């Protein structure tokens, strides 16, 4: 929602309030999507760590691979 200061100034109080509510709704929706995506990546990382066999070296490698996942996912989404 891109409104100029002049456009907001010319609106009635009810319209300004409605514009605020819409902007807030969009912000919360984007934040929820971002946080859900982060939680999904954290879950994948934990699952890979728990499921890996071997000692510390193998688990560290699993973590390194899981840190590459966000970049791969971002490239696929776009």
pLDDT tens by residue, 14-27: 999 999 999 999 99
pTM to 2 decimal places: 0.52
Contact 30, 44 (CB under 8 A): no
Helix axes 56-77, 13-51, angle to 10 degrees: 150
Q: How far apart are CA 67 and CA 60, in angstroms?
A: 11
Closest CA to 69 of 32, 30, 43: 43
In three-state secondary structure terms, 15 is helix
Q: How do the domains of the chain map onto residue ranges?
A: 5-77
What confidence tens digit (pLDDT) does each residue in 1-60 have? 677 888 888 888 999 999 999 999 999 999 999 999 889 888 887 787 777 666 666 666
């Amino acid at each position: 929602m891109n409104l100029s200061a002049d456009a907001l100034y010319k609106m009635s109080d009810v319209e300004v309030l409605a514009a605020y509510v819409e902007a807030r709704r969009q912000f919360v929706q984007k934040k929820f999507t971002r946080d859900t995506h982060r939680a999904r990546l954290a879950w994948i990382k934990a699952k890979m760590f728990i499921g890996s066999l071997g000692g510390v070296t193998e688990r560290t490698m699993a973590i390194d691979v899981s840190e590459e996942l966000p970049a791969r996912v971002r490239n696929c989404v776009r």
